[in-house]
A and B are shown apart, each in its own frame.
Chain A
Amino acid sequence: MHNFDIQAGIIKAYLGANWSDSRDMLKGFSKKKKLQQKRDQTDDYSEQPGPVVTNQLDQNITYLKERIGHSEDVIFRPFYIEDKTQRATLLYVEGMVDKTVLHHQLLESLMKTRKVDLDPFSQHEKIEFLMSQMISVGQVKRIKCLEESVSEVLKGNTLLLVDGIEAAISVGTVGYESRTVDEPITESVVRGPREGFVENMNVNSTLIRRRLKNPDLTFRNFEIGARTHKKIGVVSIRGLTNPEILNDIISRIERINIDDVPESGVVEQLIEDNPFSVFPQIQNTERVDRVVGALLEGRVVILIEGSPFALIAPVTFSMFMSSPEDYYERWIPTSLVRMLRYGSLFIALFLPSLYISLISYNQGLLPTRLVISIAASREGVPFPSIVEALIMEVSIEILREAGLRLPQPIGQAVGIVGGLVIGQAAVEAGIVSPIMVIVVALTAISSFVFPQYGAGIAVRILRFFMMISAAVLGLYGIILAFILVTAHMVKLKSFGVDYLTPFAPIRIQSWKDLFVRFPIYSLGQRPEMIKPLDKIRHSMKPKGK
């Protein structure tokens, strides 16, 4: 926790803008944490920059009105505590607060309070009294700095200012509408939990916490976006995640200096190792179980307010070929599916380019009878094979892109029309050969097999690269292109982890969960390449002998 405060202090100093304690995510987690939190509050608030809260209520109100009062959704609610003598004001943003809490736990209990004389108390005691006896809300926090109170209000907390007290009290009343938790569309599974992340980060952290009731689960929250002050959370498991990797990620996040991060994808682009690579070096997912699985392997997860996509780092290439479902289904079907995926990877990457090179350069490598039948089917096609392939591949990409953006029913219609045009009509018009249609269809279907959209994009880009290489240098071009891609991949790293592990460097232990997935009981070790502090996952024996 103290460590956290140092981190928080760093980021605050860095952003130099309104900063406030962002521990409210811990709300409702464990009692221990809350106690810890209270202790922290007493010793860190003296360092806030800017004007402080004075004991003159009017003076404070004037300042706050000047800062945020120009906007009409900011509500100043003056009232009296205790017999029309003690003036006070509540300050909140309409729509950001939970009205029930505001009305019943705050206004009601403050206004209908029994007669108490606050005067004899010291400043410190007055605040203690208000916080401990009069506000019946879980989260309260004392604030000395006016700038900090502004950002508290903007977060959805309610600020209580009392005349004669040199501090403001921020009451945790955050409550706004958010999408309900539902099934993630981009990563659906046949078997497995259907919960996906939503835009509300508090809900997301609760979803993780619900599956990981572990005292060592750590959320470290920072503020990001110089103008939008969004919350960004770095999640890890103490004693498991390698601190080197964690600190690397945190320091890269701290280096971000941007006005806004609308989506976690922006953060991804700002902290990834090589922005010029086609390969994703950070995984994004909407699935809670994937995130929990990654945490338990010793990876770091990044959550961002306003984005249902969590980021997972570090990653290796093989991660993009696996799905959480692989561990839910029994190991034999899963292993077959894994091999199918790698097979599809090969098809999606190489099939059109192999077609081009075999047609244009290296007919000799095909069996004679196949050459004859292909040649017969290509009769009348006026284009060289590269043009033929490019026409088809580009139109498939257009179709895919069009279908993606359209509402679902129209998207389907586009699919049907496109299928007709690309399939039958193009062949009948004599523009392409039937074999080409098979090649393109197989390639397109294969590229949908990847459980992760991001990996599919890389393959799509590389496919065109392969096709052009094949058109220029035939089979030799494909080999060179493949070598170039692998050379790029062995150079690539994700947060210090080699991207191609366990292929290179070879990690035989991890091959148990690569092309095949061994039975769960034999996967007792965590992946070595992320250097987890605790390498042993379990030490089960088969069949509970």
Chain B
Amino acid sequence: MKLQPKKDKITSLQATLLVVNYMIAAGILTLPRVSVEAVGNADAWLAVLIGGVIVSGFGFLIGKLCQMFPGETIYEFGKRILGRLGGGVITLCFVLFFLSLAAYEVRVLAEFIRLFVLDQTPIAVIIVSFMLVAAYLSIGGINPIARICELYFPVILIVMILILLLSLKNFELDNVRPVLGEGWLPVIKGLVDTSLPYLGVEIMLILAAFLQKPQKVLKSLLIAVYVVTPLYVFVVFIAVGVLTVEDVKTVTWPLMSMAMEAEIVGEIFERFEAFLVVMWVMAMYVTFVIAHYLGSLGAAHIAGKNFKWFIYGFLPLIFLMSLYPSNIVELFELGDYISYLGMTLASILPAFLLLVAKIRRVANGQS
């Protein structure tokens, strides 16, 4: 069943950037708060660092698994390992995960936009306009999506670095001290939650099939994690340094608060958060498009139809799902569940599949 045209190939750089762009999404704005809440003290950045290392371990499993089945998505090799039914269940899980993630992302975006940019516009208008623009890209398949990652990544990186640099002025080292004042225990306790922002490695289970050089899957996945890790660590470190542990815990969008404090001498760039808004909408867009596309692809595998049917077909579904949480607290709770599901798909599932594949000795002959 060849549902995606096989000529669609992406380079390993594109795969890396797809994963990076997909990771940096809703999480980054709330990351300081989430991590500090999990750890409870200024050592949050340490937990985020270790979280990155742990996720790169998951990445290793995923890479190994994908290398056994070059040119196949998990939708395809899942069936080979676990049989028709098991593979179908895995695909269904992925579709569900991607759809709920897309719905979650677009709702977070809408809440954010309503808070900072458009306070009187109905949330449905924000969501629908965003989804329509996203559908325009996801209908084009993986190649345009990969190219837009390449286009946006420099923008996202530059804005992030600028905000971090400009915040250094308000940075106070005392806020992040003492290091390990309460020992390693809080850090270790927080590890589960600080790994969640790295959610995104799991898309490699599908992207690997599009790689021009399938053997590079592990490398490009690990590079992606290593690009995001220092960025996350700095964001948490500097946010805590600027806002203090107590403040970070209380504000909903710590990174936004940090950007609001940043300024260049003179009044022209007083409002730096506008750039953060622009950057973040772009990042959310890419994440949404990837989730939307990969979810549609999975559904196409189950139904045996062209994925374009599902790109349009899922729009109303995502819309309804995104309106389900009644307020932002519920929304973030829902986000946690989605993250746990994602983490399961990114860690336990590949380990399990790898084990079964080794035992049953199923692998793609051409590797």
Contact = CB atoms under 8 A, between A and B. Distances in A.
Contact of A504 (B121, B126, B147, B281): B147
Contacts of A503: 150-151
Interface in A471-504: 473-477, 479-480, 483-484, 486-488, 490-491, 498, 500, 503-504
A473 B271 contact: no
Contact of B118 (A473, A484, A486): A473
Q: Is the interface of A mostly helix, strand, loop or mixed?
A: helix
B82 interface: no
Contact of A505 (B125, B150, B277): B150
Contacts of A473: 118, 121, 125-126, 129
B140 A491 contact: yes
Interface residues of A, number: 28
Contact of B277 (A369, A479, A498): A479
A202 interface: no
A367 interface: yes
A490 B126 contact: no
B267 A369 contact: yes
A544 B174 CA distance: 56
Nearest to A488: B136
A320 interface: no
Contacts of B273: 365
A484 B136 contact: yes
A361 interface: yes
Given A367-B270, A476-B281, A480-B133, A504 B118 contact: no
B147 A498 contact: yes
B274 to A, nearest CB: 5
B137 interface: yes
B281 A483 contact: yes
Contacts of A365: 271, 273-274
A425 interface: no
Interface string B162-184: 00000000000000000000000
Contact of A476 (B11, B14, B126): B126
A473 B125 CA distance: 9
A500 B154 CA distance: 14
Nearest to A361: B118
A362 interface: yes
Interface in A348-381: 361-362, 364-367, 369-370
Interface string B138-151: 00100010111111
Interface residues of B, number: 34
Q: Is the interface of B mostly helix, strand, loop or mixed?
A: helix
Contact of B148 (A361, A474, A479, A486): A486
B226 interface: no
A500 B147 contact: yes
B5 to A, nearest CB: 15
Contact of B144 (A361, A366, A479, A490): A490
Nearest to B112: A476
Nearest to B148: A490
A365 B144 CA distance: 32
B268 interface: yes
A483 B145 CA distance: 12
B267 A476 contact: no
B130 interface: yes
Given A480-B129, A484-B136, A474 B118 contact: yes
Interface in B273-291: 273-274, 277-278, 281-282, 285
Interface string A448-478: 0000000000000000000000000111110
B285 A475 contact: no
B271 A491 contact: no
B13 interface: yes
Of A474, A480, A483, A498, most B-chain CB atoms within 10 Å? A483
A356 B335 CA distance: 35
B157 interface: no
Nearest to B129: A480
Contacts of B121: 473-474, 476
A506 interface: yes
Contacts of A505: 11, 14, 146-147, 150
Interface in B181-222: none
Contacts of B152: 486
Given A473-B121, A480-B129, A487 B268 contact: no
Contact of B117 (A362, A369, A498): A362
Contacts of A476: 113, 117-118, 121, 126, 281
Contacts of B130: 480
Given A362-B117, A473-B129, A505-B147, A487 B137 contact: yes
A474 B13 CA distance: 35
Given A479-B282, A483-B285, 19 more contacts: A362-B117, A364-B271, A365-B273, A367-B270, A473-B125, A473-B126, A474-B118, A475-B117, A475-B274, A476-B113, A479-B277, A480-B129, A487-B136, A487-B137, A490-B147, A490-B151, A491-B140, A500-B147, A505-B11
Interface of A: 361-362, 364-367, 369-370, 473-477, 479-480, 483-484, 486-488, 490-491, 498, 500, 503-506
Closest 7 CB pairs of A and B: A504-B151, A504-B147, A504-B150, A490-B147, A487-B137, A367-B267, A491-B144
10 contacts: A474-B118, A476-B118, A479-B282, A484-B136, A486-B152, A487-B148, A490-B147, A505-B14, A505-B147, A505-B150
